[in-house]
Structure 1
Amino acid sequence: MNAWVISLKAYLKPNLLLIVLLGLLAGIPYGMILDPLNFWLSKSGVDRASIGLLSLVFLTYAFKALWAPLVDRIQLPFLKRIGQRKSWLVLAQLLSFIFLIAIGMNDPKQNLELLVICVFALAFFSATQDICIDALRIELVEKEELGQAAANYQLGWRVGGVWFAQVVGFILGGTIGYSNAYLIVALVFLSLSVFIFFKMPEPERIVRPYISVFSHPGRWLKDSFVDPVVDLYDRYKSEVGLLLLLIFFYRLSDMYLGPMAMPFYREMGFTEIEVALVTNFFGTAVTIIGVFAGGLLVHRFGLEINIFYGAVLTALTNLPFVYLNYLGTDLDPSNELQFLWVVIGMDNFTQGYVGTIAITFISRVVSPSFTATQYALLVLLGTVPSRILGGSSGFVVNEFGYHDFFLIACALGIPAIVLSYIVWKKKLIFSSS
């Protein structure tokens, strides 16, 4: 029992509580370019095709690895005295604040093009903030605390990105107007940014000699982009292929199903209120429980065994959707709604649990010398191909129907199960130390 109490108390350490706030700051800008923005655009008469195209803005977050080396290596002239991480964080947060306000100042009916530019700018600087936060989340804690750090980060992100940005932002937009809603959210974001600046120390990290991009562009390019990749191979040798394959396949099953979830709920006949209640409120609460369960179990039993169980749960929790689809033929709609609670409960708990495992896993892999760059590159490997493959999900449903689609989504989890089992049994601890 004492071991469990110690594991729970670890979440309350000052450095880990700071990570909750960092997660909250990461979630707010992301959430404000999701549901509140889409609803505002639709309410303003913007056509569905344009709103759908604007969703491409989220590729900015996926491709942040392209400029992560700049954040790792370039020193900002007027801010370098406060430290490499904090200087870039301050810059990214200040510009995110400015563009949150700028979005609210533009009427979609009058200045849609300018509003879209502001949205992409917010996504870019918000993604830059994420690069800093991903590095800080690893560098501010000890290696054995990475599981709790991942859980606390996800808690903060869910509160900021879902409950505050999407729920409170939605309510504010509907009551005082979306321009005022963006202003209030921006002021809260700025206040939290100032607080975290004064409370958070600059982390100790391995600082490599600075190479100017202007004086030695070739050396700078090698040092910033080539060396982080070479470092992975040098540390993991023949295991690097297993490492990269596991990262590629680990969330594939879940991400493949994701785009078809809302169309499926609508075609099942669930109302917007039912979906919001079950998926947003209940689902988010269950996700947070899964987040902390993941951090606690990693701390108690180690990472490898949890990587394996996470892969198994990711695949298996797609199967209840098959039965939910079968209930769609039932004449009693109450059966469908009751089982939706069960499906969302299992699926969202697994998302929280596996999210913590995945973040901890990648955090263990990165080197202290290339924290931001390697983390962004590995996240890109684990998300972008899955997102692209997910683009085919609608065609698969049209061709085979939801029953077979959910079975295919489950089968896509088999490679991750096999790879994670090998990691577990061979005791391949991917550690950056």
Structure 2
Amino acid sequence: MARQEEAPGRGWGSRIRHLAGSLNNRKTGYMTLFGFSSGLPYALLLGTLTAWLTDAKVDLETMGVISLIGLAYAFKFLWSPMLDRLSIPGLVRIGRRKQWIVSAQILLGIMLIGMAQMDPNAAIGLFSLFAGVGALASATQDVVIDAWRVDVADEEATLDTLSTVFQLGYRAAVLVGGALSLFMADAWGWMPVYTLMGVILLVVGFASLFAPDSEAAAVVAGAPEVLRQPGQLNPKIRAAALGLVGTFWAVSLGIVFYYMIASLALDKADRPDSASFIKVQGPIIVLATVVIPAIIAAVLARMQANGRHVLDHPEPARTLADRAMDHGYRALILPLIDIMGRLGWAAVLVLALVLSYRLTDTIWGSFASPFYLDELGYTKSEMAVASKFFGVGALMLGVALGGVMMATVGRMATMTLGAITAALTNLLYADLSTGGTVMAATARATGFTWAVEHFGGDERMAKLMLAIGGENIAGGLAGAALVAYLSSITSKGYSAVQYALLSSLTFLVGTLGRGALGKMIETQGYYAVFLFTTALGGIAVVLCVLEWMRGSRGERAA
């Protein structure tokens, strides 16, 4: 198991020295690099790309269809079992995880350079294909990098430190791929920008060849021959479970691919509605890929623990079908059995926490731009300065603060504080929605207004920057703690599948709830919405405290 104890008895001086040693570790440096390589394509393909398409005069309907490449990130867990178990012919010698990381980075570099040579209007089909392949490569890279972090963590390069520097690298890449790329495009045009970004990823891919990799010993769990030994579940039971879960996952993949293909229909009237898909099909996909398989895994774990339907003598695989079933079972079912078996009934608490922890951020995030522009009346340039530059800096400060706090006061203490501040900072926006009296007074009292005015701003800009800064510091702190927490509850033998599933769940409820929140904004206004999201954040606070108590009891028992 990847979890590291928080060593409550260690003194502050010792903890600070340990943190300094972690930051000087080779693994930490590569984790920062991997964070950068993870954030850069995400920013370029899902954010900056729309600015390029706008400049190219591509119509909004087509832009909406191209944006469907973002589904690769939402459903990356569907192909994560393959990444955990399969190797690329000829590249496995690079390393178990590195073979996928390096391949994805090189493929991303090639896709970005290829896109740079195209005119989106003249070759929109090929352009979209390159962007789609890039998104798949980027999502695949994310799965394997998350698994790499869990695999290589040790007593010196701890999960908390690796999670923090990953976030710092990721946020730096978002700044480079977002705001900096926009400025460069204004000066040079889009071709040089995307070419440069592609070259950067190719260089990163070469540098990744020299990164440490996970040990082969991490993958021995659930080897096919072990599944046929006494005490293991009967092959017929395992085959039935694999058939059920495999069918559910296949149906989910079919739904996603059908939606993507249908959205490319030439007749716009035949294209499915994105909001309806997320609202109707989203819960079905989650039930089919997470909830039902988790229940099946829990039943199987209970069966084996109680000695029911298990082998009392070795039963070797005799046919190709037997061997295929064993491989499918260890790739798809064993990761779920492992996590359900370890957590037991606590899995309900853990899943509830994962689903709710970032709810206050994700549910209203897509309404930030209309709030700044339409409700508050700021210009796009003012929003860019406050959100993209100052906001990203505040976010990175929050991530760094989270890393220091995890090293000094512990992971769950940091996570609980992150949940509290993430909820309360919604009140900063509630104040802005009613005129920003408190924000303006606070900015004046702290000298923040004076500093902003010396850089050409005014009090109106200062109160916006203060609110965004406060929320982003809280978000950075909470984000760093969440990545470390998710990593801590995954096993090294199944890290790719387990982390991909858990990380996908963190944005699920917020994404599905945006339609209802949009209606609430229309009927009740932003002030009521921010009070509501603050209250929602209280759920995560309560669950954090309960999980903190559970973890403390487990450590005392150990």
TM-score band (shorter)?
over 0.9
What pairs with 1:287-366 in structure 2 (closer than 5 Å)? Answer: 287-327=395-435, 335-366=459-490
Partner amino acid for 1:299? Answer: A
Which of 19, 22, 29 is 1:17 aligned to?
Answer: 29
2:170 aligned partner? 157
Aligned to 1:388: 512
Cα deviation for residue 282 of structure 1 reads 0.9
Write the distance in 1 (CA, Å) between the matches of 2:536 and 2:16: 37
Q: 2:368 aligns with which of 257, 261, 265?
A: 261
Aligned-partner SS, 1:45: coil
Deviation of residue 8 (structure 1)?
A: 4.4
Kept after mapping to 1: 8 A contact 2:436/2:463: no
Give the Å deviation of 1:143: 5.6
- Which of 332, 337, 340 aligns to 1:225? It is 332
Give the deviation of 1:384 after TM superposition: 2.7
What is the alpha-carbon distance in structure 2 between the residues aligned to residue 77 and residue 288 of structure 1? 39
Tell me the residue number matched to 1:184.
196
Counterpart of 1:246 in structure 2: which amino acid? L
Paired positions, count? 429
2:104 partner letter:
A
Percent identity reads 31
* Structure 1: distance between partners of 2:367 and 2:391: 17
2:526 paired with 1:402: yes
Deviations for 1:265-319, whole angstroms, at most 9, x for unmatched residues?
0011111121111111111111111111111111111122222211111111111
Structure 2 gaps, min length 5:
1-11, 226-241, 243-319, 441-456
Shift of 1:155: 0.8
After TM superposition, the structure 1 = structure 2 runs for residues 17-166 of structure 1, keeping only pairs within 5 Å, are: 17-142=29-154, 145-160=158-173, 162-166=174-178
Deviation string for 1:397-416 (max 9, x for gaps)?
11221111111211221221
Unaligned runs of 5+ in 1: none
Distance 2:224 2:118 in 1: 41
Q: Could you tell me whether the CA contact under 8 Å between 1:259 and 1:393 is conserved in 2?
A: no
CA–CA separation in structure 1 for the residues paired with 2:151 and 2:404: 20
TM (normalized to structure 1)? 0.93
Q: Cα deviations across residues 21-44 of structure 1 (Å, max 9, x unaligned)?
A: 111111111111133211111111
SS at match of 2:218: coil
Q: How does 1:276-287 map to 2 (within 5 A)?
A: 276-287=384-395
Distance 1:335 1:164, change over 3 A: closer
Deviation, structure 1 residue 79: 1.0
Retained in 2: the 8 A contact 1:148–1:292? no
Are positions 1:418 and 2:542 aligned together? yes
Structure number with greater Rg is 2
Aligned mates of 1:34, 1:127 — CA distance in 2: 12
Q: TM-score, normalised by structure 2?
A: 0.73
Q: Could you tell me whether the CA contact under 8 Å between 1:260 and 1:393 is conserved in 2?
A: no
Inter-CA distance 210–184: structure 2 relative to 1 (3 Å threshold)? farther
CA distance in 1, matches of 2:552, 2:65: 42
User: Who is 1:234 aligned against?
Assistant: 341
RMSD: 2.4
Q: Deviations over 1:20-75 (max 9, x none)?
A: 11111111111111332111111111123332443332221121111111000012
Aligned counterpart, 1:202: 213
Letter in 2 for 1:101: I
**What amino acid is aligned across from residue 345 of structure 1 in structure 2?**
G
